[in-house]
């Protein structure tokens, strides 16, 4: 019997984003986040795909600061939360992590390297013309209800 995935609002990543966003708003500090889409990983063998996602998540953890937070959100999405990081700083981290993951996948997945991309970078307080962290998070919460 297949179980349905837990709602995204129950995900540790979402809880952490909500906590860090409250802290950022209270102390007027930066906060950035992004979500990486790893749908190029073959889902035909779900157990193997999940192990690969776990390896990638662990690899990212080893290459970010201890205050940063990375977690599988659901399916093939990995979230990266960067407290006290401006949008510009987040874009540098995202570029570095993207290249790291692309290099890892190049030897393990039969797919072009260009298919792996972060979905978007959202930052507080500077949304830079795109969605704010709060809007980004609300969209994810709304999607989980559908």
- Rounded mean pLDDT, 131-138: 69
Residues contacting 37, CB < 8 A, separation 6+: 76, 77, 116, 117, 118, 119
Report whether pLDDT(2) > 90. Answer: no
pLDDT given at position 76: 81
- Rounded mean pLDDT, 25-33: 92
pLDDT given at position 20: 93
Q: What percent of the chain has pLDDT over 90?
A: 31
3-state helix, strand, coil in the chain (%, to 5): 50, 20, 30
Which range of 34-48, 53-67, 113-127, 128-142 scores highest in mean pLDDT? It is 53-67
Q: Are 134 and 21 in contact (CB under 8 A)?
A: yes
pTM to 2 decimals?
A: 0.79
- Where along the chain do its domains lie? 8-145
Q: How far apart are CA 31 and CA 43, in angstroms?
A: 32
pLDDT tens, 82-129? 999 999 999 999 999 999 988 888 776 555 445 556 667 888 886 554
Written out in words, the top-level CATH class of the domain with range 8-145 is alpha beta
pLDDT given at position 125: 85
pLDDT given at position 129: 46
């Amino acid at each position: 019997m297949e179980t349905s995935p837990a709602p995204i609002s129950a995900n540790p990543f979402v809880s952490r984003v909500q906590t860090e966003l409250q802290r950022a708003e209270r102390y007027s500090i930066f906060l950035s986040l992004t979500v990486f889409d790893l749908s190029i990983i073959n889902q035909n063998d779900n157990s193997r795909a999940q192990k690969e996602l776990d390896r990638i998540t662990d690899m990212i953890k080893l290459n970010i600061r201890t205050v940063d937070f990375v977690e599988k959100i659901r399916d093939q999405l990995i979230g990266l939360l960067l407290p006290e990081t401006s949008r510009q700083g987040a874009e540098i981290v995202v570029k570095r992590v993207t290249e790291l993951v692309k290099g890892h996948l190049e030897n393990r997945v039969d797919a072009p390297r260009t298919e792996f991309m972060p979905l978007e970078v959202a930052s507080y307080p500077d949304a830079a013309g795109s969605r704010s962290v709060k809007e980004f998070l609300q969209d994810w919460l709304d999607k989980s209800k559908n």
